[in-house]
């Protein structure tokens, strides 16, 4: 991959995020679409694009745990529960945490919890680090279509003008595993 193209695509993605737009980027298994989690306008654009009801809630993907703390109730976890989560991060495991009371409903949906992940994909970790916060993350695909695994598939489904961070996925076949941070219960096999 041409590093100039990648650098240019990251710059365009950051500008789009700052403009409350939805972007696509590679994750561990598939491309994700995401936006600024603090912008109701951006999240509503993402939900409309995906035809996803707000009640389902969303996942946040981050460069590190500190980026997630404004959205989750870290105090609800014991040291051993936190250690169990940290043993899987960074990596392709999403954990459902109790949400802070201040976390917007456009992120939590009908739940009092929030699904979050510290990624081990270097490109999206760098994107979150540069942006200074986590991104909403859901699979890059239109309703009824398979999740995109390449930049070309994203462009085919979303169009030439859609902001895409150029790069490769992490090569995993399955989407991230989802577990309860408090109990360890498996919600989705990875």
Which pLDDT value is given to residue 65? 98
What is the reported pTM? Answer: 0.93
Which pLDDT value is given to residue 96? 98
Which pLDDT value is given to residue 174? 80
Which pLDDT value is given to residue 151? 94
Give me the average pLDDT of each 10-residue run along the chain (190 residues).
73 96 95 97 96 95 98 97 97 96 97 97 95 96 92 95 94 87 91
Which pLDDT value is given to residue 7? 81
Q: Which helix or strand (DSSP H or E) is residue 157 part of?
A: helix 151-158
Burial class of residue 40 (count of CB atoms within 10 Å of its CB; 0-12, 13-18, 19+):
middle
DSSP alpha helix (H) spans, 59-174? 65-68, 79-86, 105-108, 122-131, 151-158
The number of beta carbons lying within 10 Å of the beta carbon of residue 152 is 10
Q: What domains, with CATH codes, occur in the chain?
A: 3-188 (3.90.870.10)
């Amino acid at each position: 991959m041409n590093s100039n193209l990648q650098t240019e695509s990251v710059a365009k993605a950051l500008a789009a995020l700052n403009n409350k737009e939805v972007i696509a980027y590679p994750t561990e298994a598939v491309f994700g679409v995401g936006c600024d989690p603090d912008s109701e306008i951006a999240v509503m654009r993402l939900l409309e694009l995906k035809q996803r009801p707000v009640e389902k809630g969303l996942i946040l993907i981050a460069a590190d745990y500190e980026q997630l703390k404004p959205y989750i109730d870290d105090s609800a976890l014991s040291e051993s529960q936190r250690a169990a989560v940290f043993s899987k991060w960074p990596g392709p495991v999403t954990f459902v945490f109790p949400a802070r009371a201040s976390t917007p409903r456009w992120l939590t949906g009908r739940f009092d919890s929030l699904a979050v992940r510290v990624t081990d994909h270097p490109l999206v970790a760098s994107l979150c680090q540069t942006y200074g916060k986590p991104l909403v993350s859901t699979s890059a695909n239109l309703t009824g279509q398979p999740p995109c695994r390449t930049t070309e598939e994203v462009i085919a489904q979303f169009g030439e003008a859609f902001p895409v961070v150029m790069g490769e996925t992490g090569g995993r076949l399955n989407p991230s595993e989802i577990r309860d941070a408090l109990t360890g219960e498996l919600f989705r096999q990875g």
